[in-house]
């Protein structure tokens, strides 16, 4: 469930380490003697759902494979403020060099997973599923979508290449919903589905008539959604129904109660608060005299 493509991750981490470390960590090099050994204690400074432990491990492994990394909690665990998450032991130079990148990524990912968990909890007794969107931070899409899964949500399409989503500008460019669906259907493999964004019952009916597989009800009131869902269930029960558009923690439940199958929330990955996570050194051995 929580797998990350390690090859892609390592490529990104190497780039991000280069961005941060450059030619070397001058502060550590000039202040901490060579050979100094420590244990780094990574802990949560607020409650939340933890995501990114394997990512932090990958950072420290790239910096120094001799570091000993011990996870003290499981990925996806809810933790209280003060909980020790990770211990990393070995060269103080290596720990301090990898510290900021590891923490930055864990903080962001745990922020996404924590926010996602709140939305999931709001509809956990209903059959509606929560999914993310493509509104991710450039370069961090894989990690943010992973964090959504850690928080209990699911992923919408990953990019522009893995599903057809006909939105308002596509409709304008194609000359209408029917034209857009027909053109897409002629060109995609039979295994690929077509989703159409709709804002009115008129558009819903046209999209169903054109043969859409998924109907997105965008920026509709809960009442309008319920009406659309009822009509679709009667006319095309095989069609999946998605709600989207400015849905917040305060409104997600009423939208779910309208009977939709899926609710997509872009703010899971574009408007979240990073979880406060810190690293403190617990000195293990004195510095060498060399």
Residues with catalytic annotation? 100, 135, 167, 197, 218
CB of 51 closer than 8 Å to CB of 269:
no
**β-strands 48-49, 214-218 pairing:** unpaired
Contacts 24+ apart (CB under 8 A), 170-179: 171/197, 176/206, 177/203, 177/206, 177/207, 177/210, 178/206, 178/209, 178/210
Backbone φ and ψ of 239, nearest 5°: -80, 135
- The strand ranges marked E within the chain are 37-44, 48-49, 68-71, 78-79, 84-91, 129-131, 164-166, 194-198, 214-218, 240-244, 262-264, 277-285
Q: Which of 159, 40, 49, 46 is nearest to 109 (CA)?
A: 49
| SS3 per-residue string spanning 265-276 | CCHHHHCCCCCC
DSSP class of residue 206? Answer: H
The contacts of residue 251 (CB under 8 Å, 6+ apart) are 222
DSSP class of residue 154? Answer: B
Backbone φ and ψ of 217, nearest 5°: -95, 105
């Amino acid at each position: 469930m929580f797998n990350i493509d390690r090859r892609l991750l390592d490529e990104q981490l190497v780039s991000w380490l280069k961005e941060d470390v450059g030619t070397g960590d001058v502060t550590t090099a000039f202040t901490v003697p060579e050979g100094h050994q420590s244990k780094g204690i990574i802990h949560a400074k607020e409650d939340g759902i933890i995501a990114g432990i394997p990512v932090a491990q990958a950072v420290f492994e790239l910096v120094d494979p001799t570091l000993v990394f011990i996870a003290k909690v499981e990925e996806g665990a809810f933790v209280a403020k003060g909980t020790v998450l990770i211990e990393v032991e070995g060269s103080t130079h290596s720990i301090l060099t990898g510290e900021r990148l590891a923490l930055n990524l864990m903080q962001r990912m745990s922020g996404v997973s924590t926010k996602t968990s709140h939305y999931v909890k709001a509809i956990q007794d209903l059959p509606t599923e929560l999914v993310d969107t493509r509104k991710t931070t450039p370069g961090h899409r894989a990690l943010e979508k992973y964090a959504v899964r850690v928080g209990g949500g699911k992923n919408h399409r990953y990019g522009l290449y893995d599903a057809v989503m006909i939105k308002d500008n596509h409709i304008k460019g194609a000359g209408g919903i029917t034209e857009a669906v027909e053109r897409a259907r002629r060109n995609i493999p039979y295994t690929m589905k077509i989703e159409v964004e709709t804002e009115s019952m008129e558009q819903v009916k046209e999209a169903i008539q054109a043969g859409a597989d998924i109907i997105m009800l965008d920026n509709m009131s809960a009442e309008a959604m319920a009406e659309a869902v009822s009509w679709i269930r009667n006319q095309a029960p095989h069609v999946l129904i998605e709600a989207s558009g400015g849905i917040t923690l305060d409104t997600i439940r009423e939208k779910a109660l309208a009977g939709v199958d899926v609710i997509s929330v872009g703010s899971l990955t574009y408007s979240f608060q990073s979880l406060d996570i810190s690293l403190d050194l617990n000195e293990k051995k004195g510095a060498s005299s060399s």
